[in-house]
Structure 1
C-alpha cells in the first residue's frame, strides 16, 4: 500500500488567509483497516550547514535550535476501512484561523537560513502494522499590497576611492568613475530595474558584471550576525552606457 498528497495548486503556493486544499491518495491491492487519517502542518525557521568554509552564522549553528512557527493537526477521517484500488480523500485546512499564536513568514530558502512549511499525512494502522506517511512542502507568500509599490530610485557612483579591495596601479593613478541609479523598492515578483554609465576609466573596460546579493541576518544574543551570498550574476557586453534588467527567481 502507498499514500501520497496532491495539493490543489501545481505551484503549491498559498497565502496565510487562504485554505490549503488537496487530496490524500491511497493505493492498496486489498481492503485495510486503519485507526484514523490525520494531516499535520509544520513550519519552522532553521539554520542549515552546507559545508565548505564556515561563516559566522554557521559557527553558531550548534547553539541555535530550530524555531517552530506553526503546528496544526486535523483528523481527516476517523477509524474505518480503505477500499482496495485507488482512493482519493479530499481535505481543506485554513492556514490562518485567527489564532493569536499564528505567525506567518514567507517561505525562504537561503544559503544559511530557511523558512519551510511542510504538510504531513499519517494513516494510523495500530500496533501490529506500520503507519503509512507522506510529506510534501508547500510555499507561503505574503499578501500583496492593494496599491502598487512606488519605485524608489537611488543614485550611486563608484570611483577608485570607494573601493576597499586592491586595484591596479593604473586605476589608482588614472582613476575611474561609474555612475548610475537603481530601484531599491519593488515586489520580489517584479523586475529589478536600473542603469549605469562608465564616465571615465584609465584602463579599457572589457566586461561589466552585476551581482544580485542575498543578505541574511540572525540575532545572536544582543548582536546581529549578517552574511551575504550571490543569488545571480549578469554580465553586460562591452559598452560604456548600459541599462540592465535583472529578475529575482
Structure 2
C-alpha cells in the first residue's frame, strides 16, 4: 500500500494574502509506485446555504446560492513516472493570491455561511489501482485591516419598563439590572469584558449567562435570508446571585466559529451578545448587544 500526505511548513497553518504556501508532498510505500502524475489543487470558497424556513420563500433566490470561488489553481508537482520504495518528499511553494476581482476573507465555519481554504494532493494511478488523495485545510487571516477596534463602552440598565416583546407586564417581578460592556467594538484576539450588577430582583434567580450569537445573512436581488444561531453560552453567575455584587463578564472569541464582521453584496456575517438572566421558574430576562469584531 502507498500513502500520500501533505505537510505544511507552518505548524499553525495560518497564512495571509500574498504569502507563500510552502510544504511537502510525502509519498510512502514499501514497493516502487507507478503513477500518472501528482497534482496539487488549492481552493478557497464561500459556501452559502439557506435555512429550511427560507427555502420556500424565494425559489429563484435558492437557485442563485452557488459557492463563491475566491481562490483556485492546480499545480503539477510530479510528472508521470515511478516513485521508489520508501519515503519520498516533494517540496512545493504556492503563492496565496485570490482570483481576479476577488479578495480573501478570513476562514470562518458558520451554519449558513462557510469560508474555507483547502489544499488537496492527488496521485493518479494506472488502471485498476486506486488514486491516492489527501486534503488539508489551512487558515487565512487578515494581514492588515483599515478598521481597528475602538473602545465604545456600552452602559445598560434593564427594568420591567425597558423590556420589549412583552404585552402584559403586570405579572413581571420587580427587578433592576445594571452594568456595562467595556466595548461594542472588539478585537477578535482579545476577550469581551464588562460587568453586570443585579440591584434587586423579587423573583429568585437560577443563572446569569452570556451568549455569543452569529447573525448570517445570505441574499441577492430577489431577497435576503437572515438567521441568528448560538455559538457559545457561558454561565457567569449560578443560583440566586447576591444583589449589588459586581459580576465580571469575560468571554474569549472561539477561532473558526468567529471572524471579523463581514459585509459583502451576497452575504453578511455579524455578531451579537445576549445577557440572559434565567429566573427560577425558567422565565428569561434578556438584553441584546450588537458587537463589531475586527482583527486589529
- Whether these two folds match at TM > 0.5 is yes
Measure, in 2, the Cα distance between the counterparts of 1:188 and 1:133. 35
Distance 1:241 1:171, change over 3 A: farther
Distance 1:70 1:24, change over 3 A: same
Equivalent residues in 2 for 1:112-191 (5 A)? 112-127=112-127, 129-145=129-145, 149-165=149-165, 172=172, 175-182=174-181, 183-191=183-191
Contact 2:215 2:229 in 1 (8 A): yes
- Per-residue deviation at 1:128? 5.8
Measure, in 1, the Cα distance between the counterparts of 2:27 and 2:19. 26
Deviations 1:115-160 (A, max 9, x none): 1111111122355644322111111111245997332212222222
TM-score by length of 1: 0.84
Contact 1:160 1:171 in 2 (8 A): no
Distance 1:32 1:106, change over 3 A: same
- Per-residue deviation at 1:33? 3.0
Equivalent residues in 2 for 1:195-214 (5 A)? 195-214=195-214
TM-score by length of 2: 0.72
Contact 1:57 1:227 in 2 (8 A): no
Measure, in 1, the Cα distance between the counterparts of 2:158 and 2:118. 44
Measure, in 2, the Cα distance between the counterparts of 1:103 and 1:34. 36
Q: Are 1:224 and 2:229 an aligned pair? A: no
Structure 2 unmatched ranges of 5 or more: 255-296
Which residue, 233, 241, 244 being the options, matches 2:246?
A: 241
- Per-residue deviation at 1:219? 1.4
Deviations 1:183-220 (A, max 9, x none): 11122121011112223323233421111111111114
Equivalent residues in 2 for 1:85-124 (5 A)? 85-96=86-97, 100-124=100-124
- Per-residue deviation at 1:233? 1.2
Equivalent residues in 2 for 1:40-51 (5 A)? 40-47=41-48
Measure, in 1, the Cα distance between the counterparts of 2:13 and 2:216. 25
- Per-residue deviation at 1:29? 1.9
Q: Are 1:2 and 2:3 an aligned pair? A: yes
Q: Are 1:28 and 2:29 an aligned pair? A: yes
More displaced 10-residue stretch of structure 1: 40-49 or 133-142: 40-49
Q: Secondary structure at the match of 1:152?
A: coil
Structure 1 residue aligned with 2:52? 54
Distance 1:167 1:140, change over 3 A: same
More displaced 10-residue stretch of structure 1: 139-148 or 27-36: 139-148
Equivalenced residues, count: 244
More displaced 10-residue stretch of structure 1: 110-119 or 230-239: 230-239
CA RMSD of aligned residues (A): 2.9
